[in-house]
Structure 1
Amino acid sequence: MQDDDFSLFKAELRGVKPLTQDRADTGKSRPDVKRLATLRQAAATRVESIKVDGLSDQFVIDVGAEDPLHWAANGVQEGQMRKLKLGQIAFDGSLDLHGMSVEKARDTLWEFLAEANKFEVRCVRVTHGKAARKDGRKPLIKSHVNTWLRQHPQVLGFTSCLPKHGGTGAVYVMLKRTMMDGRDE
């Protein structure tokens, strides 16, 4: 009976040609090795050029165009934040981030806060705008500024401005002063 099975098997395979390749065609095009090497090189170069300033974009808190912003670091007195919100703490510097890319806004904000710190400025105003995006999502720069200011070591608190100073399109930012350590916290 085994000979019959073998004969039947050979009869069924008559006319079948053995495969010349041992790889299946998945339908995918072969990767362009040179292009991939170029992309890898470009990615490695970009990573090295990123400025490490402590402001992370890993998790951005999305806020609406008209949402008022308010945040205070631990230990900041409510009375100080109330004065800030009412515009009773004069701001000595102002920065407008309208029309900037996220990366440009981030660098500009970092430099502005460093400069304010250098001159012992107590309060500044940052205008982030509140433009709704074309894709219907929340305002990009406003959301990033809200996240970045919470991470900055010199920021004690911030709150949306009075309408005459930009309303929900800007924030008053209260900063630490190093010469008078202990007074701000």
Structure 2
Amino acid sequence: MIQDDDPADDLELFRQATRGVRPIRVDQADTGRPRIDKADFRQRRQRASEGEQRIRVDGLSDQFVIDVQPEEELAWAGNGVQDSQLRRLKGGQIPFDGSIDLHGMTVEKARELLWDFIDEATRIEVRCIRVTHGKARRKDGRRPILKSHVNTWLRQHPKVLAFTSCLPRHGGAGSVYVLLRREMLEGRED
């Protein structure tokens, strides 16, 4: 048996079921993500584009950066470093006890991390470290920026006695062994 529904009854039932409901004015779904405060967003974007104006006094200068080639071997020794010690460093005969990789970092970030790394290494009396700066074979033909800066900074750092490019198995021309100055602490026998 087919039941004949009265459309007027259906309409009345619908009205009763939707009583008190307001029509939707916005035709976009709520994704559940918090709404962005546009004024706050503009302020944060402005601060980020200005960058931090913090100045770190670390004794490293960028006034004169020694440009180097991607495949150029680096070597430098401060006053008092014997040639035999530099040869041992270059030959990888002085084991490195710490390593830092600066690939892909900005110059400022690399500078900060390198300073902190050398500071920590000398604090715990590490004799030799490895710093990987990369070779940056640039398509535009310009010299490798980070390698050039690391070469300049290490020459200026008061705790660096010498540095030289690594053996190929440790990074070759993209890394340097760094010989650090150690302080004679009480109770140490060597």
Which TM-score applies when normalising by structure 2?
Answer: 0.69
Provide runs of 4+ in structure 1 moved above 3 Å: none
Larger radius of gyration: 2
- Count of aligned residue pairs for this structure pair: 138
Q: For residue 62 of structure 2, what is the aligned residue in structure 1?
A: 57
Counterpart secondary structure, 2:93: coil
How big is the shift at 1:179?
A: 1.8
Counterpart residue number, 1:172: 177
1: CA distance, partners of 2:103 / 2:66: 19
1:92 maps onto 2:97 in alignment: yes
Check 1:180–1:73 CA distance in 2 against 1; reply closer, same or farther (3 A cut). Answer: farther
**Distance (whole Å) between structure 2 residues aligned to residue 86 and residue 180 of structure 1:** 28
Structure 1 residues 180, 69: closer, same or farther in 2, change over 3 A? farther
How far apart are residue 133 of structure 1 and its match? 2.8
Normalization by structure 1: what TM-score?
0.71
Residue from 155, 158, 169 that aligns with 1:153: 158
* Correspondence for 2:21: none
Q: Secondary structure at the match of 2:155?
A: helix
Q: Is the 8 A contact 1:133 1:140 kept in 2?
A: no
Output the amino acid matched with 1:50.
Answer: I
Q: 129, 133, 137: which one pairs with 2:138?
A: 133
Match of 2:148 in 1: 143
Distance 1:120 1:179 in 2: 9
Shift of 1:180: 6.2
Any gaps of 5 or more consecutive residues in structure 1? 1-41
Structure 2 gaps, min length 5: 1-49
Sequence identity (%): 69
TM-fit CA distance, 1:118 = 0.5
